[in-house]
Structure 1
């Protein structure tokens, strides 16, 4: 068995349903041989497969789910002997086994109490033995399930929801759980159970194809990892791609996302139908046959029926190219899902929109995008039916495309829709919500290309799209500008000194008008909120808000708003020669603010102490007011505990007085760590011309590592320059640190001196 199994799994070619079936058949033949050796007669005993093995769909390291079924007429000793003769050879072969020994009555009783047992028995298949005995059990279990389904389907749905909460959504995670996650293989089993109950129909869509694609990915994962993995780990993804004949890890995640979304969509449709059917109905005094509820008209050709938006009988699908967008907008604004059957019919029968779109089509799109959360499931219905790509062919490049950043929780296409949801909630801030919403939809369209700056590439792609939508040239120019510059405010706020007048002037010059600034500020917030909580912390929101206020003042010719003042209490502590240190929660981490008399080397000292306290710096803002430094650090604790305020303040004080050897502590800790195995990309240090008229701006990009910021700060101090302001950011494994430095005369460095300091920083950063 072991040799034949190994030969089958080593055959060239990607995983497939045929290989899973062949592995099941091979296992059947071996079990039949074992059974023939162990059981002298087949009457009254049967070996049956359940679960995935019952469906004849074995993955390389799947469990063998087996039940030794007997009629109870044989003695316990004989049944135990038969079981041992079957189970031990399976274990000896190194196969995973999930087994039980039961009579039909026992199996029915356990299934009545345990949903997982029930789901397995619904796929019962006879491997060998008394087929009639097994058939009677399967029939009885089905009858029991159908008789109790109305009371047990709610339990099944709650079990699914708990599993989703635990495992997340397979379609959107960077390490998706292929079996337990939402949209995973367990959901397919649950949907099979719903169909078997006769309470709801089999789901629409290519559910079988999606299931097979997920199984192919899991088979490849088993093969390359050599174990029964169900989570597609990052380190396995390239090898899985190769086993499947795909280009790269991103291609694997796109396959998983597409399949999981199809399964999730089928599940949403099915469970919605189940909940409607199981909901208590109001009693009516009418005698006789109850008539089904009549559809409720919502708009011409559109109606609500059983909680979904459907076409009414006078729909006129064949002659109305606007109907898909109009139906989607009505559904989203009414908070209704778009019926899958309706979406499929719209995709099949509606003619394409003219080029350019009529104003009514554009209005319907904006109404859909502005509907808020209700737009998400309606957009998914359009997507599953193929209507989205038909309306926006450029969407195909970002559909199901993963985002390999820690801050993003969605694929590119879903993130874009979620950005529209956030923008809809903020739309009253701007004078042109329509431009905001369309820019939100298209802002990441450039991520479908693997070259260049995605924002600039996106603007180039979007230009013909918005023209096709029928926007005027000026409105189209505004939308493409928003897409091209959608990172301007957040990158400027986190990488430049906001207090420097040049910073606000550059933003104002780029955008040109207050209206454009307000649109971009709102898009920036919506984009960050849709990305996830790490992307829009209080610290980042404050920086973007302050930059926006200063740019607006510059555009209006007003004096810049005053900087956030230091509190009287902090100023008194500094005047008394004491430190002021505070800690507060911030976006899943902590904000540490240090107020102290400004001095050369303060940045390096504080950064080093934070590293000693195992606090990783995500970002930082450093500024000086009248000789007083105000440094705010956004940090994450290595072990999750909040920073110890008193210990932090004491160690900063000791380090400033040279009573704490921060550099030595960091060197010893780094020496105790295992060396990095991956190649280190050389650091890059740029002198940013024209970013400031009063300081030299140095931007350092390097691989983040323990104590990096401390070393950079020390290097600047030893180089004899003062850090007037700084912006520090950690983006995954990449550190982007920007320093505004001045010489002894308080002004920018001479060009040669600036190049010398840049070389020093490059050497230190590695």
Structure 2
């Protein structure tokens, strides 16, 4: 605590028992505000993250001490003295309070204190300390516990164990705290050290898995994420319990950490603390997620002053990722060393059975300067790479073939030897062969490339790779940096070859049909290499950058040509099925024209799948898989049949007509079937399932029947049919009604008011002005519609809009206001606050369609508003595709002039 803070407290916080609670609260508010401003100034002046966190802790210490002073004289005395100690726990206990951190306090007393004296003490402490802290707006967690109770709580879960491990006396009876320390640290923890270490390692494993086992998230969690503050703190806790040390400095003489490793470890931790302090200073509520929209502001506040917005973010985030990598790497190293090291108190006893088992695992095999022991590879000597630098590549090939991994010493040796991989060495035929061998071992590539990237070898083989390392992708749907996203796509390709999950089955079958199945590995590795030059047009620049890389690695001209096509067009297939009407023959023909042959189509089919699944969890679903597979199947058939496709479609039209004429359709006459086929365009029958055509016939028949059986108003009621598509996890809503101006947007509005999300829509009108509109919808949570209440609400809203001609806009706006904060106005959708809506209108020559594309933050009734605007501008909508990712809507409309 600084002398200035102490002096300020003496002036502002001198209380006695006669002071009112209001006076104390007002004085505390002024003290906190002034001290907070001072700490903020020190932070802005560049003071280290740790010093700022300790300063904040010191301020809270003073505050609690001064609030306790008038309480102390009111406590029972003599034999009833509760001998209470006010103890800081967790981050507050280790004096690392960031500006909005929780403050955890334990009111500790000896186990023999009970009865009225204890109750009186608890009431005084609650009323005169806790209530004031809460009224100050501080987030305070508290507990009242005896020494025995505290230790019993520690037995229940690891969080309490760790919080108590960092217990620190703030004020109160020191002997009570010392008795607790003796009982907890010296007795309980020593007896349970091995159990604690095992629990901490398991906790680390689960926590890291939650964040994808990577530091390279675009929006990292500074505290709990991989390579975050918690990784550093975990090593401190393990070392304290295992070895009884109070500081990581004490690990150096024990040969568990070098001075350089500790210096880098501490420096990285300080950087993350400084980032967290800034995040808290710039936020209204506690958060540890470094959201995309906050990164520019935080970067500028921390001194990254590049005028270019993107460059500023990239420099800041590269520093963040490097520090997180240092913490992750060093913490894993220490975890391993601490787990293997015997306890200082000798509690780790090794049995004879364990010795025998260890010796069996120690059976060795020597190859190429390395030694295989069990499932770990080590080097025969420290000069193994100096003797032959290409071993820095071959070592990963050995691990790939043997199913092993390098041990800790070999990992460090690899990392410290990468400078040996000079451009001359990596361009040798032997080095290229070794790397290509790694890429061609289908189903086992990801782990090798991930390790090569982590240890700095990959960027020595492909220097261009360094430019996308730690690169934040300014696209709303990406969760990972460009390098990690790329590696995740390769993990997906491994799964295509090996995973028994049915989702991979179709892709496995098609990639095995390709001429060169393993070519997708280098293609995926380089597919986003162009992002180093910017997101826009990165596919084209990536193809240009990749070609000389593949040439250097020894790929022949034919394979490079295929790779060039795949990288240049790696976004094309998804663009087609996300935006265009797959039932339109022009869509298939246009895409087939781009692809050219079945082999490229198969590669692109699998590439698009791996690219999407490697982008973010949840981005791929059964609906998208169906769209993707439909485009693939249609295009494959087109490429196989060539010019005969149109003849095949004409035959199918006739076969469909004959099938419908031969069916028993009840009251529906042959003339009605003939009329249906003559009143609709031919493509409707080619790409609509026969059963669905029969459904539409029945619905049209029912609509026409209402003219005879009901009054004029009754004949205006639309005919509605709900069908669940369990394979795609959606519901198909067919509506048949008389065509009229604004029909599409009114139906879309009614669906929105019923609480449904629209995925796609198709509009078809017979020449006798009967409209057949089909919507693919999902209930909230993206599932089939099972609620009759929702269906009734839709019917009610449709009747109101179509028959009563009621404007649904006010109701939609009211619903949007009620749901905005709950659904969209939170930090899970940060782009909603910064994304500028975009509208593109163009004529797609290959499809012979006029298309409107809209990108905008999603909101209830967005499709209603867009389609209403299109209608009022004098256009009809014939097709709509609706796509929403992380709160951002990307909608496509086919339009035609009205009338």
- Other-structure match for 1:592: 732
Change (3 A) 1:323 1:81: same
Q: Which moved more, 1:64-73 or 1:551-560?
A: 64-73
Contact 1:357 1:470 (C-alpha < 8 Å) held by counterparts: no
Aligned-partner SS, 1:617: strand
- Other-structure match for 2:841: 686
Matched, 1:697 2:765: no
Q: Deviations over 1:446-497 (max 9, x none)?
A: 3344452222232233334333333334433332321111011111233234
Q: Deviations over 1:89-142 (max 9, x none)?
A: 686463554556667666545434443332133334556788898677546544
- Other-structure match for 2:39: 8
Matched, 1:122 2:170: no
Q: How does 1:381-400 map to 2 (within 5 A)?
A: 381-400=451-470
- Counterpart of 1:244 (choices 302, 317, 325) is 302
Contact 2:453 2:459 (C-alpha < 8 Å) held by counterparts: yes
- Other-structure match for 2:808: 665
Change (3 A) 1:329 1:315: farther
- Other-structure match for 2:523: 439
Quote the RMSD (CA, aligned, Å): 5.0
CA distance in 2, matches of 1:337, 1:624: 64
CA distance in 2, matches of 1:705, 1:86: 45
- Other-structure match for 1:492: 576
Question: How far is 1:54 from its partner?
Answer: 3.5
Change (3 A) 1:98 1:711: closer
CA distance in 2, matches of 1:81, 1:226: 35
Q: Which moved more, 1:204-213 or 1:270-279?
A: 270-279
Aligned-partner SS, 1:572: helix
Q: How does 1:45-194 map to 2 (within 5 A)?
A: 49-66=88-105, 88=128, 92=132, 94=136, 95-98=138-141, 107-125=150-168, 138=181, 141-143=184-186, 144-160=188-204, 171=215, 176-194=220-238
Matched, 1:19 2:52: yes
Question: How far is 1:230 from its partner?
Answer: 3.4
Aligned-partner SS, 1:386: coil
Q: How does 1:151-550 map to 2 (within 5 A)?
A: 151-160=195-204, 171=215, 176-198=220-242, 206-232=264-290, 236-246=294-304, 258-260=322-324, 262-264=326-328, 284=353, 293-294=361-362, 296-297=364-365, 299-305=367-373, 307-313=375-381, 316-332=384-400, 334-350=402-418, 351-355=420-424, 357-368=427-438, 376=446, 378-403=448-473, 407-424=477-494, 425=496, 426=508, 427-450=511-534, 452-532=536-616, 534-550=618-634
Question: How far is 1:228 from its partner?
Answer: 3.6
Change (3 A) 1:292 1:81: farther
Aligned-partner SS, 2:222: coil
Aligned-partner SS, 2:807: helix
CA distance in 1, matches of 2:333, 2:374: 12
CA distance in 1, matches of 2:749, 2:733: 15
Q: Which moved more, 1:195-204 or 1:464-473?
A: 195-204
Please report the TM-score for the alignment, with normalisation by the length of structure 1. 0.79
Aligned pair count reads 740
- Other-structure match for 2:753: 612
Q: Deviations over 1:247-302 (max 9, x none)?
A: 66676666655555555555666667788899999964999x97584254385334
Question: How far is 1:636 from its partner?
Answer: 4.3
Question: How far is 1:420 from its partner?
Answer: 0.6
Q: How does 1:22-37 map to 2 (within 5 A)?
A: 22-25=55-58
Contact 2:816 2:859 (C-alpha < 8 Å) held by counterparts: no
Unaligned runs of 5+ in 1: 745-766
Aligned-partner SS, 2:189: helix
Aligned-partner SS, 1:531: coil
CA distance in 1, matches of 2:805, 2:228: 49
Question: How far is 1:582 from its partner?
Answer: 1.7
Q: Deviations over 1:377-433 (max 9, x none)?
A: 554444443333333333333333344656444332222111111223245343223
CA distance in 2, matches of 1:580, 1:57: 61
CA distance in 2, matches of 1:639, 1:529: 20
Q: Which moved more, 1:363-372 or 1:514-523?
A: 363-372
CA distance in 2, matches of 1:158, 1:660: 63
Aligned-partner SS, 1:214: helix
Question: How far is 1:318 from its partner?
Answer: 1.0
Matched, 1:570 2:692: yes
CA distance in 1, matches of 2:289, 2:809: 36
Q: How does 1:612-631 map to 2 (within 5 A)?
A: 612-620=753-761
Aligned-partner SS, 2:421: coil
Q: Which moved more, 1:391-400 or 1:598-607?
A: 598-607
Larger Rg: 2
Contact 1:335 1:374 (C-alpha < 8 Å) held by counterparts: no
Change (3 A) 1:517 1:167: closer
Change (3 A) 1:118 1:464: same
CA distance in 1, matches of 2:815, 2:198: 54
Change (3 A) 1:400 1:286: closer
Q: Which moved more, 1:446-455 or 1:169-178?
A: 169-178
